[in-house]
Structure 1
Amino acid sequence: MLSMERVLLLSETSSTLVSPMGDPNSLILSLPCLLLTTLALLHYPTYSVAQTLFVFGDGYYDAGNKQFLSGNRVDANSPPYGISVGEATGRWSDGRIVPDYLAGFMSIPRIPPILRSSADFSHGASFAVADATVLGSPLETMTLSEQVKKFSRNKNKWTDKALSEAIYLTYIGSDDYLNYAKSNPNPSADQKQAFVDQVITSIEAAIKLVHEAGGRKFAFQNLPPLGCLPMVKQETGNEKDCVKLPSEMAALHNNNLLKLIEKLAQDLESFQYSFYDFFSSVQNRVFEPETYIFGTGTAACCGTGTLKGTDCAAKNVCVNPKEYVFFDGKHLTQEANFQVAHLMWNADPQVSEPNNLRELLVFPLDIPFIYNVKRLDQVGKTGSFVI
């Protein structure tokens, strides 16, 4: 019998059923994509399931790389980070993060940080680092370009077959737009578009480098409404309403990123992808937290200030993180990460276009990829936000 938490995920997955036990073998594929994929596989009966996962991004995906680059104390290495799993692991959450759950759904071990030289990288590596950006060169982190170069230098750790069948998971850009909004409080429409174009151009170059190195299956998590982060609202004094400019920039970025990926699917050989609408998922939970079994989507679990938006420390943590969407002023709780991972893995095209990650995993490399099932912006998802 489905638990209430899992039933409520159906409001975002439509025809998709989510397993109450987190067992990917009991999940049902979204029906439109399942039919198309099944028809393709009837003609190409031999296919393989990826056993390798590569992760690129910032603090949302960082599995512990930050500690190897920082000369200072890293907050995620100490409680209250990790309190829901009994220890701090360098992850910016009270417990597991999205790549951890996705690795579990793939039936492989959690993916280790690339900078932990003693780790077992047989199933992939995480290059994500907290505070990472697409543009610029912030201290004690790696930009997306630097992460991809690190991947290229280490690709001999894996076979060509593993590289071609692997999933390449990416989430990055939040800090680019948060920093831009702080420095440019009143940009014109042309200025906003020009900055987004710079970010997208750099992302395109990174994707092409991964593709040249053998990558074929790409998964993207777009940006949330950044003006709804507790840290942003608290800093700007908008404790009740989301801040307009950061959310606008995120929505503009998401639309342009989707257009880029659709173009790459046409231009690059065997390029396959899954694009998850994280923006709408966060927006839903911020404004209707009870629907998703959260107590609040406004304040963070850990921190100080009216929305607990800054200074997360052991003395400032809530009693039950599962009641919160945000653990600190910027990052999600383990429970929110769990819901996000399930949506990426098994949602229908209104949430993950054109295929979810589970479908992408088994799609053969030697047939044309079905990439235009339904556009997110055509169903009123990507690019919409509530002020």
Structure 2
Amino acid sequence: KPSNRKLRSATTTRHRFGFLSMANPKSHLFSLSFFSLLLLHFPAVSLGQTLFVFGDSLYDAGNKQFVSSNRVDSRFPPYGVTVGEATGRWSDGRIIPDYLATFMGIPEIPPILRGTADFTHGANFAIADATVLGSPPETLTLSQQVMKFSDNKNKWTAQTRSEAIYLFYIGSDDYLNYAKNNPNPSDDQKEAFVDRVITSVEAELKVIYGYGGRKFALQSLAPLGCLPAVKQASGNVQECVRLPSEMAALHNKKLMQLLVELSRQLSGFQYSFYDFFSSIQNRVIKSTTYTFETGMVACCGTGSSCSTNNVCANPEDYLFFDGKHLTQEGNLQAGHLIWGSDPEVIGPNNLRELLFIPLDTEVILADIQEARDSTRRPRQIKIESLHYQEVGISDGEPMALSS
């Protein structure tokens, strides 16, 4: 049996040589057929070469250092240990937007606050500690990130903005803070708070749509109660904490409903929605299946602190690098799923398909949609309804949760 490291090496080799990473051969064949149909019906389809990134520390490429008056840990080792330098990313190496840019054939997207950077192919507005609601210090809320995009939008032509991909991951800190301050909320209180977050997200998506954005890629929130830092704070590192994961699951369900509604309301609105929740939960429970030795603890620190004194020797063996963020290997796997996976994981389009969807059509042609529908399997229901049973995975053993 090959070692985990050999398996990862093979995956990296396939990535370097541009092979498509799909869940199964049928999905691969369908994807090729889908592109063929698109090109037959729309021979003038152009491939977007621009990526705009919004979110929190999972996507932060270095913005935090420009607004913080305190030490920013991601600017110092052991962050960046796998790539040889700390770049402001909260990982041992590359993060998800870096891989997506590579798959798109463009350079890594620079942080918007690095004023001297080349923003030809887009900008990264994500920053650590970002929230949707409130006004936390030394960061940018989602609204402020979108405002920053508005201030800089003339760096790109209207056509570039319309063909670009707008990538989002935000909300984790909203729910972690809420759970910390409200340990026993009622169901009505939980739903009311999630509705406030979703309403704010909707408003910002519409602002970007108003500036010409048409292609939106969103990532569902992780099972927040399974983050090593959250488990450590609860006093039981072996069990996921129920409330943060419940809030994340409810958020994900309502976010999916919002995207479906926006695609009906707004002409030309297209989207991709990645089930990050299940991807992380599967890797926490069945780590070795996904080439990790563990998904329960972090490579660096005991869950809340990370320094050169307590970093592991082989980050690629871990799902989490520190208490809240993925290793480069975890980011690579997520990037592959966003880029080229099938409807079990991402829908109604993966990112590669989203790039090819024409801007001048209201809906995908009936024969293309019929071809897509014929490939759907029962597990796609998870993407469309996001019914997380007991905040656990639907096709395996239940996740241990504590209250």
The change in CA–CA distance for 1:380 and 1:203 in structure 2 (over 3 A counts) is closer
1:31-42 to 2 correspondence within 5 Å? 31-32=29-30, 34-42=32-40
Q: Provide the residue aligned with 2:7 in structure 1.
A: 4
Q: Provide the residue aligned with 2:159 in structure 1.
A: 161
The change in CA–CA distance for 1:53 and 1:73 in structure 2 (over 3 A counts) is same
Q: Taking structure 2 as the reference length, what is the TM-score of the superposition?
A: 0.88
Q: Provide the residue aligned with 1:15 in structure 2.
A: none
- Cα deviation for residue 22 of structure 1 reads 3.9
Decide whether the 8 Å contact of 1:254 with 1:383 is kept in 2: no
CA distance in 2 between counterparts of 1:238 and 1:92 reads 24
The change in CA–CA distance for 1:232 and 1:83 in structure 2 (over 3 A counts) is same
Gaps of 5+ in 1: 10-17
Decide whether the 8 Å contact of 1:23 with 1:105 is kept in 2: no
Greater mean alpha carbon deviation, residues 126-135 or residues 376-385: 376-385
Mapped pair 1:355 → 2:349: yes
Q: Provide the residue aligned with 1:383 in structure 2.
A: 388
The change in CA–CA distance for 1:382 and 1:112 in structure 2 (over 3 A counts) is farther
Q: What amino acid does structure 1 have at the position aligned with 2:64? A: K
CA distance in 1 between counterparts of 2:40 and 2:216 reads 24
Q: 2:283 aligns with which of 277, 282, 285?
A: 285
Q: What amino acid does structure 2 have at the position aligned with 1:188? A: S
The change in CA–CA distance for 1:292 and 1:315 in structure 2 (over 3 A counts) is same
Mapped pair 1:116 → 2:114: yes
Q: Provide the residue aligned with 2:307 in structure 1.
A: 313
Mapped pair 1:331 → 2:325: yes
The change in CA–CA distance for 1:198 and 1:33 in structure 2 (over 3 A counts) is farther
Q: What amino acid does structure 1 have at the position aligned with 2:191? A: Q
Secondary structure of 1:60 counterpart: coil
Q: Provide the residue aligned with 1:140 in structure 2.
A: 138
The change in CA–CA distance for 1:31 and 1:282 in structure 2 (over 3 A counts) is same
Secondary structure of 1:298 counterpart: strand
CA distance in 1 between counterparts of 2:361 and 2:96 reads 29
Gaps of 5+ in 2: 1-5, 393-398
RMSD, aligned CA: 2.0
The change in CA–CA distance for 1:382 and 1:31 in structure 2 (over 3 A counts) is farther
1:85-104 to 2 correspondence within 5 Å? 85-104=83-102
The change in CA–CA distance for 1:356 and 1:382 in structure 2 (over 3 A counts) is farther
CA distance in 2 between counterparts of 1:4 and 1:171 reads 28
The change in CA–CA distance for 1:302 and 1:164 in structure 2 (over 3 A counts) is same
The change in CA–CA distance for 1:379 and 1:272 in structure 2 (over 3 A counts) is closer
Q: Provide the residue aligned with 1:322 in structure 2.
A: 316
- Offset from partner CA, 1:49-77 (integer Å, 9 cap, x none): 11100000000000000000001110000
- Cα deviation for residue 161 of structure 1 reads 1.0
- Cα deviation for residue 4 of structure 1 reads 3.0
Secondary structure of 2:14 counterpart: coil
The change in CA–CA distance for 1:277 and 1:215 in structure 2 (over 3 A counts) is same
Decide whether the 8 Å contact of 1:353 with 1:376 is kept in 2: no
CA distance in 2 between counterparts of 1:27 and 1:59 reads 26
Q: What amino acid does structure 1 have at the position aligned with 2:342? A: D
